[in-house]
Amino acid sequence: MFDSGVGGLTVLHECLVSLPEEDFVYLGDTAMFPYGTRDPDLLRERIRRIAELLLGDGAKLLVIACNTATSIGEGVAREVAAERGVDVVPVVEPQAEIAAAITDSGRVGVLATRNTVESGAYRRSLEQQGRSLEVTEVEAPDLAPFIQDGSPFDEGVLEMARAYCAPLKRAEVDTLILGCTHYPLVAPMLQRILGRDVRLVSGGHAVAAAAQRTLESRGLARLPDGEGAYRFLCTGDVDSFRDLGTRFLQMPLGEVERIEVHGADYS
């Protein structure tokens, strides 16, 4: 499983709960955070290298726990995985399926990074759900970096969230896709701004369910006979990853190994 930073730990948390017997390796590419503003071509090459690294370590399933990485680089990750006969579970499609299923009015919002919105990945996935949906997408370029920094919530971030939610309120969405794995940490704030009747769809539950279905359909699921192991890799500062990651995972991280992703660096 990989993400641009610690946001994907919200996805890992749900996978650890839903698939406690499985072993997980999580790679946080914190040296290159944020993905949401990176050049898409360079980002795709970065994702290719990360997929090669994780699958070369013997992974039986690759989870892209990052909305931007899914939107921009799902194709290259699937290419690498296909060479090894491994399935890929992205974050966009499972969320779109849930959102389309639970919306009453058909008005669905997407709050995401610039790269995710510009890719059109959510709009395409929602269009494939067999329902007539009115989709409102909003770029929130400053929200994930703020959360990643671990800064305290104050009036400034509340005003930022209100500005991002304004177009969603005008569109009267009844379902909002949290199109970045960092956003669940501000879900209570978003819920208060949008109102309690707006359903929020995060990536964690959707991806965990998709991962479970995939492993079971391929006959790769472990028997429920104990707890598996989990370990962490990051490309940036280990101490900051551990400190902030504990907040996202809501479980102890333990040792974090710093690694290099060669051949795909940004200047």
Residue 66 is among the residues annotated as catalytic for this protein: yes
CA-based nearest residue to 204, from 165, 249, 162: 249
CA 148 to chain centre: 13
Residue 15 is among the residues annotated as catalytic for this protein: no
d(CA 159, CA 164): 9
Of 15, 165, 180, 234, catalytic:
180
Of 15, 66, 165, 234, catalytic:
66
d(CA 10, CA 73): 20
**Angle, helices 9-18/203-217, rounded to nearest 10 degrees:** 50
**Amino acid identity, residue 23?**
D
d(CA 191, CA 176): 10
DSSP 8-state class, residue 147: H
Instruction: Give the burial class of 156: count Cβ atoms within 10 A of its Cβ; 0-12 exposed, 13-18 middle, 19 or more buried.
Output: exposed
d(CA 150, CA 61): 30
Task: Give the residues across from 99 on adjacent strands.
Answer: none
Residues annotated catalytic, as ranges: 66, 180
